Structures are given as structure tokens and as C-alpha cells.
Chain A
Amino acid sequence: MPLHIETVSHRYGPVEALADISLDIDDGETVVLIGPSGCGKSTLLGILGGLLQPTSGSVTLSGAPPADSLNPFTYIFQDFALLPWRNVAGNVALALEHRPLAARERGERVAAALALTGLSDFAGAFPKQLSGGMRQRVGIARALVVRPAVLLLDEPLSALDAQTRELLMEDLLAIWAREKSTRVYVTHNLEEAARLADRVVVLSRRPGRIRETLRIDVPVAERGRPEHAGLLAEVHGKLWSLIRDEAATADREVQRV
């Protein structure tokens, strides 16, 4: 679904978190929001999914969401947000239980989402028994089971170690090749941005403003190829040069607090 962000600003009391954000996101596009700590990227994602009300401005969607989408705006969370008292299948089913679905169809949808994320053999496992990577796969399955029109990913790989992160990036790309949704992906990891984004939006910090947008023309599916290694390094370097000084400021500020 095309998504339109119009002059969105947000304040937490006296603190201005976001200032005058305007951005149009195309249908099926993956936009990565990147920026230093305190740039309000998670705030913006909260506003996009209707978990936060912006102080001013609006977010609109063109057209009606697809009929089979049970939850048009769906999150994948940094800390997975799984219910520890439900097993894998139960956590995925949570997204469907309050929807008017026959029990059989719900079961089929859950099974399909588990199959898509490689969790079929773990349906009965509890979150605490699973590694971080598997827990986030449960988070992904729970998001896919409602067929989102807009997928909102809030630093989905930040809580994972580097190798698991690599594996999940591959998984996400494989899933996205089959699933048509619009995606907004928040991260502070430059490599994720270079690998996953159609467009990278760089935010400045406090208040968050759009500093630069960077379109990456190579299709995501082809970015793993050796001939594009130079391009990815170039994107990485460019993003870092945009963020570095502010990241250093943010770092020093955190230490002073």
C-alpha cells in the first residue's frame, strides 16, 4: 500500500522528537529509516502503526487495504514481544484468535506461517527454549500470519548476534521475494540498510528531521552478488559519513547522563 507521511511532528513534553517529517512510500517498497540514537526513528514507526498519536501531521494510506489483510499495519519488534506462557503456535495464533476465522482456517494459516519461517518442527516449543534467532522467526511468523499490507520492523535484528543477524537477513529477503507488502524498517545498522533497502532515509537527531534519502538501484535480490560488493561498500560509507558526527555526539551525550 502506498503510504503518505505528511508534516509529522512529535513532542514528548518539552522534548521535540520529530520535526516536520514528510515522506511518500510506494507500494511494495522497502524504506529503511536510519539515524543515530535519539533521532526519533522508533517514534516515527510507532506513529505509522497507530501506536502513538503524532503531535501534528498525519499518516494516510492510498486506497483500501487488501481484503485478505487481517491487520494492515503489523509490527515486528526488536525484543520479539512473545508471550512466554504460549508456545510457538500459540504465539502466532494470538494474532488471529480475535478475528472471525473458522478454527480450521486459523490452524491452516498458522501452519503456513510456521512453514514459511522454518518453524514447523517447533510449533510446541516455548519461547524460553528457543535461541534469539528462532524467537524472532516466531515474531516474523506472527506478523506474516495476518497478511500485512504495511510491515513495520522496529530494529528486528538488533537483539541478535552478528551471525544470526546474517541468517535472518537472508530469511527476510527470501520471504520478501514472495510476500508483497510495503515495508518500513528501522535500524541503526548500516549493513542492514545497504542490504535490505530500496530507499534509505537518514534522520538527524533531536529533533529527528529527514536529512537525506538515498535510493539504491540494484534490486535487493541481486545485492549478494560479488559484482555489487563495491556498491554496498559505497552505500555503507556514504551513510556512515552522514551519521558519524551525530552518532559521536549522541554517544558523548549518553555518557554524560
Chain B
Amino acid sequence: MSDRRPVPFRGGGFDPGPRRLLPWLVFILLIAAWQAASSARWLPPLFMPSPLAVVDAFYVLWTNGTLTQHVGASLGRIIPGWIIGTAAGLVVGLAMGIFSAARAAGLPIVSALFPIPKIALLPLLILWFGTGEPSKVATIALGVFFPTVIAAYSACDSVPRNLIRMGQSFGLPAADVVSKILLPGAMPGILAGFRISASVALLLVVAAEMIGAQYGIGAFVLAAGNLMQTDQLLAGVVMLSILGLLISWALSAVERAVLRWR
């Protein structure tokens, strides 16, 4: 009996679980280390201002209305650009998802144009629409259009064929197959596409504003850099990060509401 040994345990690990405080701790430690390095004058404030200086700049810019003005200008481009690009992208993408002819016609063009960095088209769009708002909105709309097309038609593809056959076997008219089976089934993929297109829109608005705009976060960040106002520059970047987080949070809320069944 003395030769009995317990079975060695080999499981455990590889099991991602929540660690509630750790993310905050890492975040706080990084900021604290940055602040400590600044306070010890290891970081030259002209090139890398301290977190406190950035917060200070942010506070000043927010309270005097500068940031609001620039954010407002940026949103005034992102929102119409995203809506136009998304609406057109959904129409084309869903058509490609539903009709074989639309797919055969559209897929080569979309595949060929998708990889072009849309900001490269801004000069052309400026020639067409002038230097004002329409060229920037059009750049964003173009940038949003392609990922939306691809998300929409591949979302249609991902709807299980057997659900469509089921609908047909119960005699559902084609319009009902689309509205009751295909579209709800494609919704998760379409909403995932919105996340990508929203980040594209944010990227393009900054780029377009850096190329030529008086107002807008991109223009503000560029101007601050030219004037070596690094604290204001970083405050602008923080504003962009907050904007990105807000958009992501809003999309999550939409996903939770629309995809409650998941």
C-alpha cells in the first residue's frame, strides 16, 4: 500500500479569466512612471510633456471652447461621410450578397478598388469638389464604402444556407426570405463591419484635415505640432482617443440591443 501515489495534476492554466483590477493597475503604473520620468526631468517637456501638463492643456482647451470647435468640425465631416458611405455600401454589399449577377459584376471592381488608400484620392476629390467640406466628406464616404460592401456581402454569405432552404420549404416569398432570414442573419457581420468603417472614418478625417482644413482635430494637432505646443498636440490626440472610445462604446450598445439573441 505504501507505493500508492496521487495522480499528478496536469490541467490548469490556458484558461483566460477576469482580473478586474490588473488592467487599471497597469494603466495607472504606466502613467505614474511617465509622470515620474517627467518630474525627474528625464523627458524634455518640449518633446514629451508630462501627463499632468497634457491634462492641464486639455482642461484649458476644453473650457475655452477650442476643442469643442475642432471636434465639432471633425464630427461634421465624419457623420455625413460615414452615413453616405455606409448607406451606399449596404445597398451595394447586400445586392452582392443576394443577387449572383450583382456579385459577379461588383466583386472584381470592389476587390480592385478596396486596397487603394482612400486618402490618396483626396487631391482628385479636391479637384472635383474644391477644397471645402465636400471633398473631405467624399474621402470619408469612399473609405467607409468599401469595407461596408465587403462586410455586408460576406455577412450574407455567412447566413447558413439551410435556414434559407427552410424558409423556401415553408413557402416564404423571396422578400420574406430576405427580410426575415437573410438580413437578421447578416446583422452580426454588418455590425462588425461598422466597427471597421468607423475606425476608417476617424483615420481619414484626421488625414484629410491635416492636408487642408482650418478647423478639425487633425488640423489642430498639426498646427500644435508646427508651433511646438506638444502639450496641446497630445491633448488633441487624447481627444481623438476619447472620440474613438465613444464611437466604439456606442456601437457596442447598438450591438447589444440588436443582437440580444446572441
- A residues contacting B by CB (< 8 A) are 49-51, 70-71, 73-75, 77, 79, 81, 83-86, 94-95, 97-98, 126, 128, 142, 146
Contacts and interface: CB of A to CB of B under 8 A. Distances in A.
B261 A126 contact: yes
Contact of B184 (A71, A74, A83): A83
Contacts of B185: 83, 85
Contact of B261 (A85, A97, A146): A85
Contacts of B162: 77, 79, 81
Contacts of B170: 71, 74, 94-95, 142, 146
Contacts of A79: 162
7 contacts: A51-B165, A75-B166, A81-B166, A83-B181, A84-B261, A95-B170, A142-B170
B37 interface: no
A246 to B, nearest CB: 26
Contacts of B187: 85
Interface residues of B, number: 21
A71 B171 CA distance: 7
A20 B184 CA distance: 41
B31 interface: no
A75 B262 CA distance: 26
Nearest to A52: B165
A83 B176 CA distance: 13
A51 B167 CA distance: 11
Contacts of B176: 97-98
Interface in B69-105: none
Contacts of A71: 169-171
B163 A51 contact: no
B173 interface: yes
B168 interface: yes
Contacts of A50: 169
Interface in B154-196: 160, 162-163, 165-173, 176, 180-181, 184-185, 187
Contacts of A98: 171-173, 176
Contacts, number: 51
5 residue pairs, one from A and one from B, having the closest CB atoms: A81-B166, A85-B261, A95-B170, A75-B169, A85-B184
Interface string B229-262: 0000000000000000000000000000001011
Contacts of A51: 165, 168-169
A141 to B, nearest CB: 13
B168 A84 contact: no
Interface in B10-67: none
Contacts of A94: 167, 170, 172, 180
A98 B168 CA distance: 12
A146 B169 CA distance: 12
A17 to B, nearest CB: 17
A77 B171 CA distance: 15
A43 B259 CA distance: 34
A46 to B, nearest CB: 8
Nearest to A46: B165
B186 to A, nearest CB: 11
Contact of A73 (B167, B169, B181): B169
Nearest to A146: B170
A85 B186 CA distance: 11
Nearest to B260: A85
Contacts of B167: 94
Contacts of A85: 184-185, 187, 259, 261
Contacts of B166: 75, 77, 81
A50 B170 CA distance: 11
Contacts of A83: 163, 180-181, 184-185
